Structure 1
Amino acid sequence: MALNEPFAPQSRKKVLEEMDNAFLYCFTVEAVVKILAMGFVIERNSYLRDPWNQLDFTVVCLDWLSFFLQGSYNFSILRSIRILRPLRTINRFPGMRVIVKSLLDSLPLLADAFILFLFIVLFFGIIGLQLYSGAFRQQCFCVTEGLQEADSNHPDLVKEFPSLAPYENTTTGALLPRPKGSNLTTECVEQEDGDFPGLFRPEGEERYCTESEGMGTGHCGDWEVCRPFGENPNDGVTNFDNLGWAVLLVFQVITLEGWASIMNLTRATKGIVNDLFYIGLVVFGAFFMINLVVAVLVSNFDQSSDEEAAGGGEQAGGEAKPGEPSPLGGSTGNAMGDTELQESLLADAVHAAEKTNPMYISRCFGCCRRHKKEGGPEGLREWRCSEGWADFLKCLFGEGGLFARISASAWFERFIMLVITVNTGTLAMDHWGMPVEMENFIELANFICTFIFIAEMVIKMAGLGIGNYWSNSWNKFDA
C-alpha cells in the first residue's frame, strides 16, 4: 500500500495488485484455519471472541468486498482499512501493550478532562462575546460628508486625493485643506463588499481603530473616521459576534496558532488592558489543560506498568480478598462488620417508616427535631418536640432547621444548577446586531436569574449561619 503512486508505471501497478491479492489469500487461509481450529463464535474461546481476531476478520471481509466490486465502484477506502492489521503486533510487544492499555484505561478520565476543556472554551467564549462583540468591525473610513472645497491657491492644499464621494473628480480629485504636519498618502476607494456597501475606505489593508483613548489603541488619520461598519478579518472568520464564532476563535487561541495577531486586533479596538483575556486563555486553555491530559496519561501508564510487572495484578497464593467469600463457604468479614451492617439496615428501615408519621410532615410547624435515640443503634433517631416562638425560630434558622435542610437538599441543588444553565444559555444568546426584542428578553431573563441567586444566598445564610456561609470559598465566589 505504501508503494502506490498516482502516476506509477502500469507494470508496477500490476505487480502491486498481484501482491495485494496474494496477501489477501494468505490472510483468508489464516482466518479459515483459525475458525476450524477454534470454532467460529459459539464456543467460549472461539475465533470471534478475541478482539484482535474480530479486527482481522473485519479487514478480510472488507478486502473481499472491495475485490469483487472494484470493477464497478471505487472501494479503495475499504481496502485502506487493511492498514489496521499491523495493530495486531501490539499484542506481541509488552511495552507497546502497556502503552495501549494505559491509553484505553485513561479514556474515562480523559472524558472528564474533555468536559472541563469544553467548559473552559465555553466560559471564555461567553466572556469574549460579551466584551468584544462587533469589535473587529471597527475600522477607518474616509470622511464623505461635511467637507468644504478649498481655494486652489491654499498653501495646505491636497490636490491628489480622489474618490471622496461628495467631491469626486476624475481629474484632480477633491480639493481639501490638510493640517500642517499631516501625512496623507493613501487614496480613498469604495467598499464593494460587506454589510454596508457604498462606504469609502483608505486604500490598502484595513486599519482597526477605536474612538477612545488608551495605550495601544488604533486611531485613524486625517479626514478619516472610526466606524463599526467593516468586515471581520480573515473573510469574516475572526470575530466574537456570536457564540459559535467566539468558541471557534477561543479554540484557535488555545492552539496558539496566530493568537498574538488576534490579541493585537483586540488591543487596537479595545485597549492594551484586554491582553489579560488572552493571557488567561493561554494559561488555562493551552498550558493547564495540556498538562492535565499529560498527568492523566502518565498516571495510567504507571498503573498499567505496575499491573504488567505484577502479572496483571493477580494476588499470589490464591488468598481471598477481605469481604469476599472464602473457599470454605464463609466470609473474610468479621462479626463487627455484620453488626454494623445490621444497624445500618435497621436505621434505614426506621427512617423509611417514620416518614409516614404525621409528625414527620409537620415537624417544622411543631418545631420537632430528630435526635439520636439513647441506647439505640447508630443511625436510629426519635422525634423530640417543643413549643414556643424561640424554638420555632430555632427550627427555621438553627442547625438542622428548615432553611438548612433546603440548602442541603438535592432538589435545591438541581434547581440552582438548572438556573445556572438557563443563565448561561441567555448569555450565549447575545450577539452583535441582535433585535431589540431579544435584548429585552435577555435582560429580563438575567434579572430573574439574578433574583434567584440572591434568594439562594439568603437561604444558605439563614440555614448555615453567616459565619459558616462566608467560611466556604465557593460561597464567597457566588456572593
Structure 2
Amino acid sequence: MSEMGLQEQPNGKRSEVPTSNGKKMAMYGGDSAMGAMPAATPPAPPRGQSGKNLVKQGTNNFQRQGTMNSMRSTASMRSTASRRRRRMDNDGDISPSGSQISFGSGMTSAREFRERKRMMKLQEEPKWPDPMMYNPRSLFLMTLKNPFRRACITCIEWKWWDRIVLLLIFLNTVQLGFLYDPFDIPEYRPDRTRADIFTYLGQTFSILFTIECAVKIIALGLIMGPKTYLSEAWNYLDFFIVIIGLLDFLPSSGGGEGESSGGGDVSSLRTLRVLRPLRAITKFPKLRFLIVLLLQCVPMLSNVMGLCCFLFFVFGILGVQLCQGVLRGRCYNFDDGVALDYLCTYGAGKVKCPDNYECLLLAENPGLGNINFDSIGGAMVTIFLVMTMEGWAEILYWIQDAYSESMFIYFVVLIFVGPIFAIQLFLVVISNKYAQTEQSLKGLEVSTVAEGGLEGGGG
C-alpha cells in the first residue's frame, strides 16, 4: 500500500498532496474563507530515515503550503473588494454593512446620503410660490412662507380671478350709466329708494375693488422691489381709480343751512368714478398693445403734426390776405338801418344788395363768430374745420357769396393737401409701426421656439 496523503476540500472531500520526497501525504482543508489548513495527520516515516528528521521535514512542507494558500486567499479577497468598490462607485449603492456608502469618488455616511437625496428631490420639485415671480418680502413684513400672503398669491393665480374682476368692472359700468340724478340734495329726491340702491351698489363695487387692490399689494408688495404692484405702469391707473372710489364713503353735502359746503368739492371728485371702465384696458393684452403702440408712434406723429401746423399757417396767412372781414358783410337799409340776415359781397361776390341797401362789414361772423379769416387764429380754426371734411361746402359757399366765385381753387387745393395727403400720413405712420411691431414679435416667438427646441434636443 503506497503512502498517500489526503486533503479535505471545502466541500468536504479529501485530496492527496505530494510531499517533497515524492510521496503523498494526507492534508485536511478547512472551511475558512482564508483557506487556512487544519492540523493534518503526520505522514508515515519512510524507510532509512529517522523519525525526528521526517517530522521536521513534514512540518516545513506544511508551513510552506499554508503560506501559499494564505497568499492566494488574500489576493482573492483583495480582488473581490476591488470589484465591489468599483461596482459601488458606479451604482452609488450602500455597502453590505449599511454604514458606509460610495458616492462618486468618496465614502460618506448613510445619513448624509439620505440628506443629499432629499435635497435633490426638493430641487427637482417645482417651488411654490416661485421666488423668481415674487419678492422675498411684502410690505417689509410677510415672507413667502407667510400663510396669509400665500393665500393672497393663490387668489391672484386663480384662473377665474381676472374674469371675476372684469365682470365687476362691467357691472359697475352699467351701474354708473344709471346713476344720473338731477337733484343735488338727497332729501329732495322724488325717488330716494332707487337712488339709494344705486348708491349702495357703487359703495359695494368700491369695497370689492379695494379688496382686489389690497390682495395684490399683499401678494406682490407695494413699490419696493422689481416685482411689486406699482412696478407695472398700468397699475398706477388702477390704484388711482381705487383711491377715487373711496370717496363714495365720504359724506356729501348740498351746502344747506348749518352744513358745510365742502361736500361740493367731494362731489366734483366723484365724477372721476367714470374712469373705472378704463381698468378693463389692463385686463386685455391686445388693447394694451394698441395703446402702447400709439404711445410709441408719438415721436413720429409729432413730425406729421408739425407738417399739418405748417400747412395751417401757410393757408391761414393766404386766407387772411384774401378774405379778411368778408364774412361780416350784411345789407343795411339807409333809411331805418335794418340789416338783412344773409351775406353780401363787398367786392366781386355773387350776392348783391338790393336798391337802397348798402353792404357793410359790421355784422358778426358765422358760427357764433368762430368761422372767419379776420386773424390768423380764426383762419386756422376755419382751415381745421375744412380739413375735417365736415361742413366745408357751406363755408365755401359763404366765401363765394361774399368775396369771389374763384375761391373754390383755394378750398380744392386745401382739401388735397390736407385731408387727402397730410392727414393720411397719420394712418401711414401708425400702420407702419404696427407692421414693424408685429414682425418683431413674430421674430421673437420664432427665436424663443428655436431656443426651446435646441434645449430639448440637447437634453
Q: What TM-score does the superposition give when structure 1 sets the normalisation length?
A: 0.49
Residue 195 of structure 2 aligns with which residue? 13
Give the residue type in structure 2 aligned to 1:301.
Y
Give the one of 206, 221, 229 matched to 2:354: 221
Q: For 1:244 and 1:112, locate their aligned partners in 2 and report how far apart those are by CA, in whole Å.
A: 21
Q: Is the contact between residue 331 and residue 358 of structure 2 (CA under 8 Å) also seen in structure 1?
A: yes
Structure 2 match to 1:135: 326
1:315 positional shift:
6.8
| CA–CA separation in structure 2 for the residues paired with 1:272 and 1:91 | 54
Mapped pair 1:255 → 2:255: no
Cα distance in 1 between the residues matched to 2:280 and 2:362 = 60
Instruction: Report Cα offsets for 1:71-119 as digits up to 9, x if no partner.
Output: 4413344334344344444444443333223222212222222222221
Contact 1:238 1:245 in 2 (8 A): yes
Whole-Å separation in 2 of the counterparts to 1:308 and 1:122: 40
The offset of 1:9, in angstroms, is: 2.8
1:266 corresponding residue in structure 2: 399
Specify the alignment match of 1:60 in structure 2.
Answer: 242
Q: Percent same amino acid among aligned pairs?
A: 29
- Alignment of structure 1 residues 18-167 onto 2, 5 Å: 18-71=200-253, 72-74=262-264, 75-142=266-333, 144=334, 164=335
Q: Structure 1 residues 11 and 130, CA, compared in 2 at 3 Å: closer, same or farther?
A: same
C-alpha displacement at 1:313, in angstroms?
A: 8.9
Larger radius of gyration: 2
Deviation of 1:276 (Å): 0.9
Conserved 8 A contact 1:66-1:78: no
State the one-letter code of the partner of 1:3. F
- Measure the CA separation in 1 of the matches of 2:439 and 2:267: 42
Aligned mates of 1:230, 1:47 — CA distance in 2: 61
Q: Which residue of 2 aligns with 1:439?
A: none
When the two chains are superposed, the root-mean-square deviation of aligned CA atoms in Å is 2.9
Q: 1:209 and 2:345 equivalent?
A: yes
- SS of 1:291 mapped into structure 2: helix
Match of 2:161 in 1: none
Matches within 5 A, 1:45-444: 45-71=227-253, 72-74=262-264, 75-142=266-333, 144=334, 164=335, 189-191=336-338, 201=339, 204-212=340-348, 217-311=350-444
State the shift of 1:311 in Å: 4.4
Q: Using the TM superposition, give the Cα deviation of residue 54 of structure 1 relative to its aligned residue in structure 2, in angstroms.
A: 1.7
For residue 69 of structure 1, report the CA deviation from its aligned partner.
4.9
Count of aligned residue pairs for this structure pair: 261
CA distance 1:82–1:235, change in 2 (3 Å): closer
CA distance in 2, matches of 1:81, 1:228: 46
Structure 1 residues without counterparts, runs of 5 or longer: 145-163, 165-188, 192-200, 319-479
Contact map agreement 1:90 1:97 (CA 8 A) in 2: yes
Give the superposition deviation at 1:70.
Answer: 3.1
Contact 2:331 2:343 in 1 (8 A): yes
- Distance (Å, rounded) in 2 between the aligned partners of 1:270 and 1:46: 66
The residue that corresponds to 1:417 in the other structure is none
Is 1:4 matched up with 2:179?
yes
User: C-alpha distance in 1, partners of 2:244/2:386?
Assistant: 41
Task: Give the conservation status (yes or no) of the 8 Å contact 1:110–1:296.
Answer: yes
Are the aligned partners of 1:98 and 1:305 in contact in 2 as well (CA < 8 Å)? no
Shift in CA distance, 78/207, structure 1 to aligned 2, threshold 3 Å: closer
Q: Closer, same or farther in 2 for the Cα pair 1:87/1:314, shift >3 Å?
A: farther
Unaligned runs of 5+ in 2: 1-175, 183-189, 254-261, 452-459
Which amino acid letter does the alignment assign opposite residue 206 of structure 1? Answer: Y
Letter aligned with residue 253 of structure 1: V
SS at match of 1:232: coil
> Hey, what's the Cα distance between the residues in 1 that align with 2:443 and 2:244?
39
| 1: CA distance, partners of 2:285 / 2:244 | 29
Q: Following TM superposition, by how much is the alpha carbon of 1:127 offset from its aligned partner in structure 2, in angstroms?
A: 0.9
Q: Which has the higher contact order (CA 8 A, sep 6+)?
A: 1
Deviation at 1:46, TM superposition (A): 1.2
- Whether contact under 8 Å (2:327, 2:402) holds in the other structure is yes
Q: In the aligned structure 1, how far is the partner of 2:368 from the partner of 2:227?
A: 59
Give the C-alpha shift of residue 229 in structure 1.
4.2
The superposition leaves residues 217-275 of structure 1 with CA deviations (integer Å, 9 ceiling, x where unpaired) of 22222233344444433443332111121122222222233222221222123221111
Q: Give 3-state SS (helix, strand or coil) of 1:59's partner.
A: helix
Q: 8 Å contact 1:210–1:268 — kept in the other structure?
A: no
What's the CA shift string for 1:6-35, capped at 9, x where partnerless? 268321222222222222222222222222
Q: Aligned in 2, Cα 1:112/1:67: closer, same or farther, shift over 3 Å? A: farther
Distance in 2, matches of 1:2 and 1:137, equals 44
Distance 1:2 1:280, change over 3 A: same
| Structure 2 CA distance for aligned equivalents of residues 107 and 33 of structure 1 | 35
Task: Identify if the C-alpha distance between structure 1 residues 120 and 211 changes in structure 2 by more than 3 Å, giving closer, same or farther.
Answer: closer
- SS state of the match for residue 205, structure 1? strand
* Cα gap change, 1:136 to 1:82, in 2 (>3 Å): closer
Q: CA distance change for structure 1 residues 236 and 91 in 2, over 3 Å: closer, same or farther?
A: closer
TM-score, normalisation: structure 2: 0.51
